[in-house]
Amino acid sequence: VTAAGKAVLITGCDSRAGYALAKRLDEL
């Protein structure tokens, strides 16, 4: 599982926040 995958998994129900967080983590 990638960091982006984990971010989406953690936020779960709020996919928009999960996507934004995953995108941010992916840029780091």
Query: How many whole angstroms separate alpha carbon 11 and alpha carbon 1?
Result: 15
pLDDT of residue 21: 74
State pLDDT tens for residues 1-28: 677 777 666 655 566 776 777 788 777 6
Identify the pLDDT of residue 11.
59
Helix axis angle for 15-27 and 3-11, nearest 10°, is 160
Residue 6, amino acid: K
Q: What is the DSSP string of 1-28?
A: --HHHHHHHHHTT-HHHHHHHHHHHHH-
What pLDDT, on a 0 to 100 scale, did the predictor assign at position 17?
Answer: 73
Is the pTM higher than 0.85? The answer reads no
